Amino acid sequence: MGRSNISHLRPAGFDTFWFGVCYYPEHWDAETRALDAERMAAAGVNVVRMGEFAWDLMERVEGVYDFSLFDETIAHLARHGIKTIFCTPTAAPPRWLTVQHPEILRQDRLNTELKHGSRQHADYSHPTFREYSRRITEVLAEHYKDNTAVIGWQTDNEIYCHFSDDHSPATRAAFIAFLKEKYAGDIVALNRAWGTAFWAQTYGSFEEIDTPYENRPTYPNPSQQLDYARFLSETVARFQHEQIALLRAANAGWFITHNGVMSKTDYRGLFTQDLDVLGYDVYPFFDTNPTSRPCSHAFGLDRVRAFSGNFIVPEHQAAAGGQAPYFHNAPEPGEMRLFTYRSIARGADSVLYFRWRTCRFGAEIYWCGILDHDNVPRRRYAELSQIGGELKRVGPALLGTSVRVEVAFAEGDYAATEAHLTYPLGLPSEGTAAVWSHRWFFERGYAVGCVHPADNLDGVKLYIIPHWTVFDPAWVPALERFVERGGVLVIGARTASRTLDNQVTAETLPGCLAKLAGVTVEEYGRQNKGDLRPQKLQLGETEVESADWYEVLGLQGAEALATWTTRHLVGLPAISHRKVGRGHVLYVGTYFCNGALFDALWPVAGKLAGVSPQLVEHPAGIEVVVREKAGVELWFMLNRNETATRVPHPPLGQDLVTGTTVDGPCEIEASGVRVVVQRR
Ligand code: GAL
């Protein structure tokens, strides 16, 4: 099932660039729907996604199925050359099911039962809900197995997008079963792994264990919390696995995706290994700051590739989004197109917009689509058509390519992310530190991305691990080889300070990385507010005020690259450098959170690694990404400036967007895009 060769370099495997919209025929009468297929096809749409919230319509009464609306819609779209991705509708079980089986409702941390009336209220671990999930999936799979217009499936919808914890009796029982399996029935092993000697937590049997409750009354055990996070992920992976088995048994030719990326799911684990391609819903306007938005959007895309390579975007923001408490700014003319190309440049192998038409009722009446409530095509439809026309040329060229990455941030590890959440200490997360650091390289046009430490590091020259407290010693040999062969490894403070059980390691820090880095951590602490007791370090010519965290390094084969210059730290090593084989290891005894540090540190690391911006004289506001496969490079240049921008040294070749040739310095219009093909 699925594909287990998970790597950031993996293309999605489609033979077509799917370009489409999320479609909800159940929201509209026949008269309103009449022109939909024709209009979609005219805009270049070749796929729609549907069905994810329509279980109530498909099965109005238990066991009585009616798919006629969908059958007719699928057939009508197919006559216009548009295929369908159908969804298992389990994100919103019908009312008759929760009336009949109230025990399938999830419970929050106050053990309050969730209610029918929105979505995601059913318990993924409840055997009864699982049975109903399998049943509707099987009936749908059987119904559509010979329908050639249905090309693939999305499982459920954004699992855990609203919240993930569940403390229902069924979940507790499933948690106990998960732990029994993990610890092979050995309660002593669990007590050891969780350190239950602290605060009298020792368990006599697995049956005594509960799900961890935050603030009831106070802090829970971080080892228990990490196992609970693993359990929540395992639960939805198994839930999805059952649906996927049924879909594949009906038609092995379908591709299967899920639209993430949310919380409490290990997207490098079984959940994604079961899929043909991971889906990533892209909503850049959740970052309400237009200055950081391009970077947060880009980082999100790079991070998703660290899970499993190129992806499909089952939902791409097309317009202003609003749910009851908020309403995004509207993308200005050209912005939807610019976002789309950013998503494609950084790994989207297909894109569907959310949604075709703004719904007039329900909880998302202001979540706008391509068409407005009144069904009148306006500028968003025109922009869709423009992109659709361009992708007829760009799309086929993208198939089979992957994104070039020379500077990579370690990302995509479930335990690393979850461990921070169990014990944040008021510090930025490893992900936040990566976002800020990534931005420095992104703004300057480096080939920056994200790669998991267990992944293929070929092509990566500079690899940066930002503060991963939980760090698997099994990754170290590959990192050693990476450095021996000439790579530069930068390790952020606190990395490898905890075991896989989320206990502090017994080894001197940085634990399993101490030998490779050639340092020991002799003292550490949270940094005071800079204005009270500034802690500064000297790196080359620059004195930098650092932030959040300090470490004093003992040099065990490394040399000091930077030393502390203030308070009781004066003269002590802050950043170390060790030459290993043809490469280098830097250990940074502070947090990656500070522009001044980046300006001093990243040029040094970049120079050691031999990386530089991809364009000579990189113009500010131009984003550059290369997608490549054997013999072909596609150079994306995106101008996010509000004015035309001159690129003095662009790649030369045919531009697939405009159909013209770039044969020298070129000017890209405001919000303009070029995709230049170079053959080697
Ligand atoms: C996604 C979700 C959609 C819709 C959209 C806009 O998170 O999958 O169903 O809710 O956001 O809010």
Please provide the DSSP assignment of 172-227 as one string.
HHHHHHHHHHHTTT-HHHHHHHHTTTTTT---SSGGG-----TTSSS---HHHHHH
pLDDT at 1: 47
Residues of the chain scoring pLDDT < 70:
1-4
CA of 291 to the centre of ligand 1 (A): 24
H or E segment to which residue 336 belongs: helix 335-345
Radius of gyration of the chain measured on its C-alpha atoms:
26
Closest CA to 676 of 501, 276, 9, 662: 662
Alpha-carbon distances of 498 from 203, 263, 588, rounded to whole Å:
23, 22, 17
Give the end-to-end CA distance of the chain in Å, rounded to a whole number: 36
Per-residue confidence (pLDDT) for residue 4, from 0 to 100? 60
| Cβ 428 under 6 angstroms from ligand 1 | no
User: Angle at which helices 414-422 and 222-250 pack, to 10 degrees?
Assistant: 140
> What are 247's two structure tokens?
């879909």
Question: Tell me, what amino acid is at 88?
Answer: T
- Check residue 105 and report its DSSP letter: B
Atom of ligand 1 nearest to the CA of 157: 8
pLDDT at 2: 57
Contact 621, 569 (CB under 8 A): no
Nearest-atom index, ligand 1, CA of 52: 9
Q: Is residue 156 in contact with ligand 1, taking CB distance under 6 Å? A: no
3-state secondary structure 421-439: HHCCCCCCCHHHHHHHHHH
pLDDT at 566: 94
Residues contacting 215, CB < 8 A, separation 6+: 109
**Closest to 251 (Cα-Cα) out of 152, 131, 139, 149:** 152
Q: Please give the distance, rounded to the nearest whole angstrom, from the Cα atom of residue 600 to the centre of ligand 1.
A: 41
pLDDT of residue 3: 58
From the CB of 161, is ligand 1 less than 6 Å away?
yes
Give the ranges where 550-677 is alpha helix by DSSP (H).
595-609
Q: According to DSSP H, which parts of 195-313 are helical?
A: 222-250, 270-273, 293-308
What tokens were used for 592? 């990656």
- Which pTM value belongs to this model? 0.97
Question: From the CB of residue 424, how many other CB atoms can be counted at a distance below 10 Å?
Answer: 10
* Helix 169-182 with 222-250: angle, nearest 10 deg: 100
pLDDT of residue 533: 83
With a CB cutoff of 8 Å and minimum separation 6, the contacts of 292 are 439
Q: Is 158 a catalytic residue?
A: yes
Tokens of 607: 């120079």
Tell me, in angstroms, the distance from the centre of ligand 1 to residue 323's CA. Answer: 9
In angstroms, the CA 234 to CA 265 distance is: 8
What is the H or E stretch that residue 543 is in?
strand 542-545
Exactly one of 52, 59, 234, 315 is catalytic; which is it? 315
CA pair distance 21, 5, nearest whole angstrom: 29
